[in-house]
Structure 1
Amino acid sequence: IDIHADSEVIMQNGTTGILRCTFKSSEVVSSSTSVTWSFIFHFFSGKGFPGQSEFKDRVQFIGDINKRDASIQLSPAQFSDNGTFFCDVKNPPDVTGTPARTELRVVLKSLPQSNTTVIIGAVCGALLLLVLIAVVACVVMRVLHNRHEYECTSVESVGSQPLKPQKKVESSLEGSRSTSPSGPLQGPVIYAQLDHSGSKNSFHKMEPVVYADIRKN
């Protein structure tokens, strides 16, 4: 008889695991066919019998003898289950064969897949946020720098230009001053002379003298 099993099986603590074992035989499988997992389980005549007490209520035969499957299920796996186990099958008269060897390793239970996915997503989101913040900061700094250069250039250009409009205003004012008279015009002045020679009744009126005093600019 030819017996095969996984050379190494890794189970997580507290979970359900399977120890697989298959065989090949030239004889027809019958009720006398037996399966023995050392220290764990024994199957004979269609019935299963747990091995040591520590595996009681935790081991179950899940194989199918007619399909040459002698696998068992261990649930839940415990750290104390670590060790080497052998699967041996007898199918009379085919009883000569080498038992298959399996190394069982029970490891610490990992985080659920959903939690792992959430953690990975959160880390990726945080990294993306940092990248976006850096990009926005660079854009803002660039805009402020360009605005500062523009303001400095505008101030320099304004300071270098002559104040031509002011000169025009002053020249127009000077022209208006030159055409206007420097002082008020004075018209002709008429003077009258009276005779006060002594007599109350005598009044001698002198001919008026007209003086024209015109100030020329």
Structure 2
Amino acid sequence: MGRQQHTSICLNIVLLLYLMVCFVLCPVSGITVSSPAEVHSVRGDAVSLTCTFTSTSRATSHMSVDWSYRPQTGGPPQAFFHFSALVFLPRDGQFNGRVKWLGSPARGEASIQLLNASLSDNGTYTCSVRNPPDVHGFPTSQTVLTVTPKVLAVHFSDVAVILAFILLPSAIITLALLGRMCCPPKDKSQAQGYQSPIEVTPGEEPGLKQIHSKEKNMTCCHIYLLIYKNHNTALYLMDHSNYGSRYQR
């Protein structure tokens, strides 16, 4: 009797050790969900919230994905997306019509896309995946989304357009005006009807009429010498006429 009890105790000890080894070397299967810690986006853009999972069991129709949102100001999480063989999109709230399913359970994808991101979307997004019989592990993962206002930036192409449509026409107009000032058009009809302020009327000294036939680009020195020469000629003619009248008397 004593030997049988001793044998039974030894068998129990061996069975207990065997169970302990099985639990240590063969852990219970579980699921692992992962996602980026932070995601940055610009207001108005479409932002992808990535979520992947690994499971020792094949994804079946019992697998489910849930997304929840907690505002940046705090408060309890708000569930807004659910997948379980079918996609259940939000029908009200701030995410209504703005969520797109990007997941593929067969490839371990449970991602979504948020359309037309706004500043009110800033907060923490939690992805939860359940795939029975994997009931242990890390079935959730969180991502902090930061949406910033869009900054207007001037690119080199914009500067080139501004130079082409503003500075280039201005330069052309300036060159045209300078050319017109330096080289005025020679119109014969205008030249014949033009009368210089220093031109004399008919009946005065004929010598001064030569100024009108000269080119308009004469310098001040040339005009002064011409006037001086004509003035001396007029004085000579006046003296000669006076001398002739005296001689006749």
Superposition TM-score, scaled by structure 1 size: 0.51
1:85 Cα deviation from its structure 2 partner:
1.1
Other-structure match for 1:100:
141
Other-structure match for 2:116:
76
- Kept in 1, the 8 Å contact 2:89–2:99? The answer is no
- Kept in 2, the 8 Å contact 1:42–1:51? The answer is no
Following the alignment from structure 1 to structure 2, what is the Cα–Cα distance between the partners of residues 16 and 10? Answer: 11
Match for 2:144: what amino acid?
A: E
Q: Does 1:4 align with 2:44?
A: no
Other-structure match for 2:62:
32
Following the alignment from structure 1 to structure 2, what is the Cα–Cα distance between the partners of residues 50 and 31? Answer: 21
Q: 4+ residue stretches of structure 1 with deviation over 3 A?
A: 119-122
Deviations 1:102-158, CA, capped at 9 Å, x for gaps: 00001112347xx52425768xxxxxxxxxxxxxxxxxxxxxxxxxxxxxxxxxxxx
Residue of structure 2 aligned with 1:44, choices 59, 80, 84: 84
CA change 1:37–1:22 in 2 (3 A) is same
Residue aligned with 2:155, SS = helix
Structure 1, unpaired ranges of 5+: 123-217
Other-structure match for 2:45:
15
Match for 1:107: what amino acid?
A: T
Aligned pairs (5 A) from 1:1-217: 1-38=31-68, 39=78, 40-50=80-90, 53-96=93-136, 97-111=138-152, 115-119=154-158
- Kept in 1, the 8 Å contact 2:130–2:139? The answer is no
CA change 1:85–1:61 in 2 (3 A) is same
1:54 Cα deviation from its structure 2 partner:
1.2
Other-structure match for 2:5:
none
- Kept in 1, the 8 Å contact 2:125–2:144? The answer is yes
Following the alignment from structure 1 to structure 2, what is the Cα–Cα distance between the partners of residues 25 and 117? Answer: 50
Other-structure match for 2:224:
none
Following the alignment from structure 2 to structure 1, what is the Cα–Cα distance between the partners of residues 115 and 56? Answer: 33
Following the alignment from structure 1 to structure 2, what is the Cα–Cα distance between the partners of residues 28 and 64? Answer: 13
Following the alignment from structure 1 to structure 2, what is the Cα–Cα distance between the partners of residues 51 and 42? Answer: 12
- Kept in 2, the 8 Å contact 1:31–1:46? The answer is no
Q: Percent identity at matched positions?
A: 38
Following the alignment from structure 2 to structure 1, what is the Cα–Cα distance between the partners of residues 81 and 149? Answer: 24
RMSD, aligned CA: 2.5
**Would you tell me which structure has more helix in proportion to its own residues?**
2
Following the alignment from structure 2 to structure 1, what is the Cα–Cα distance between the partners of residues 105 and 139? Answer: 18
Match for 2:141: what amino acid?
A: A
Following the alignment from structure 2 to structure 1, what is the Cα–Cα distance between the partners of residues 100 and 157? Answer: 35
CA change 1:51–1:100 in 2 (3 A) is farther
1:27 Cα deviation from its structure 2 partner:
0.5
Match for 2:54: what amino acid?
A: K
- Kept in 1, the 8 Å contact 2:59–2:131? The answer is yes
CA change 1:118–1:52 in 2 (3 A) is same
Superposition TM-score, scaled by structure 2 size: 0.45
